[in-house]
A = this chain, B = another copy of it.
Amino acid sequence: MKTPVILISLLLFSFSFSIKGQIVYHDASNFPLLGKATENTYTRYSRLPESLKSISRGPVWELGKNSAGLAIRFHSNSTTIAAKWEVLTNNLMNHMTPTGTKGLDLYCLLDGKWTFVNSGRPTGKDNTATIISNMKPEEREYMLYLPLYDGTVSLSIGIDSLAEITQPKINLPVREKPIVFYGSSILQGGCANRPGMAHTNILSRWLNRECINLGFSGNALLDLEIAELISEVDASMFVLDFVPNASVEQMKERAVKFYTIIREKHPDTPILFIEDPIFTHTRFDQQIAREVKDKNDEINAIFRSLKEKGEKNIYMLSSKDMIGHDAEATVDGIHFTDLGFMRYSELLYPVLKKHIKE
C-alpha cells in the first residue's frame, strides 16, 4: 500500500518543480560567437588556429586557449538565465577576481544600449550559476562574455523549461569590419573584475562593433605569425598595443616587420600604435620609470620613421591621459582595475569611432 503514495508524491513534486523553476540547458555552440580572428581556431572557444600550434612559442599558444574577448549572442524570453561551463586550467591569480579570470558576464540590449545584467561567478573547474532570475518573461537580446584568463572547454545556457532560446534577432554588435587589438596582459583583460570590463568588450558595446582581442599576457613580443593572423582579418582598424611587453630591442628588431605584414594586405586601413601606460609606480620606482620612458621614446622614434618614409593612415596614442592622474586605476601599478579600463575606454572611444567611420 505504501509504494503508490510515494510514487504519487514524487510525481507531484516533479511536476511542481518543473512548473516553478526547472532550468533546461542549451549548448552554446549553436549560437554566434563574437571576437575571433578566424573561425578556424583550435577549439571553438580558443583564439588561435591549430596551424600555429607548431609555430608559436609555447606561452603564446597556451594563452591562445584563453577565451578573452569572446562572447556568445542569443535571444530569449526566459525569466531566468543560468549557465554551466567548464574551464581549462581553473586558473587563480592573486590580483584578479575569479569572476574575471574564469567567470561569465551577461549583458542585455536595453533601450538600444548594452546593459550589464549580472556575472556568472565560478566555483572551480566545473561551474553552474544562476546569472539572473525574477525577470518579466520578455523577449531580450543577450551577449555573454567568456572567461578572460582561462580556457572555456564547454558552455551551456540555462533557461526556464517553458521559455525559448533562439538566434539573435538583431545583428549587433556589427560584425563586418571588426577592430583587431594586439597586445599584452592589460589587453587580455588584466585585471578586470568581470569579463565585460576588459576594454575591448567595453568598446565593442559602446561602438556596437565586433572587437577581436589578441592580448597575450606577458607575451606581446611582436611574434610575426600573429601579425600574419591579424592580417587575415578584414578589419576597420588595427590597434597595436604591445609596448607593455616588447623590449626596446624587440621593437627595434620586429616592430616595423610586424606593422609591414599587416600593412601589405591592408594598404588603407588605419593602424593605431599605443604608448606604454605611465604605470602608477613610476612616481616611486626609478627603474620602471626609466623603462617606460625608454620604451615610449623607442615606439615614438619608430612611428616618426614610418611617417618620414611616407606611411599613411598610422596614428600614435599618447598614454599621458590613459588612466587618469590620481594613480588609483591599477591593482598593482600596472594592471588596470575596472576604474582603469573605464578611463582607458573613454580615451580610446573617440579615436576609434572617428577612424572606423572614415
Contact = CB atoms under 8 A, between A and B. Distances in A.
Copies of this chain: 2
A342 B327 CA distance: 12
A35 interface: no
**How many interface residues does chain A have, given as a range?**
35 or more
Given A132-B281, A132-B284, A193-B191, A94 B123 contact: yes
A351 interface: no
Interface stretch (A18-26, A216-224, A249-257, A332-340): A332-340
A213 interface: no
Interface stretch (A41-49, A108-116, A152-160): A108-116
B193 A118 contact: no
Given A95-B121, A116-B327, A119-B331, A337 B283 contact: no
A334 to B, nearest CB: 9
B280 A116 contact: yes
A122 B94 CA distance: 7
Contact of A285 (B103, B121, B133, B330): B133
17 contacts: A94-B98, A94-B99, A108-B284, A116-B328, A118-B281, A118-B284, A118-B332, A132-B284, A133-B285, A133-B287, A134-B285, A134-B288, A135-B285, A337-B337, A337-B338, A337-B339, A338-B338
Given A94-B99, A338-B338, 7 more contacts: A94-B122, A115-B327, A132-B281, A134-B287, A134-B288, A194-B331, A329-B338
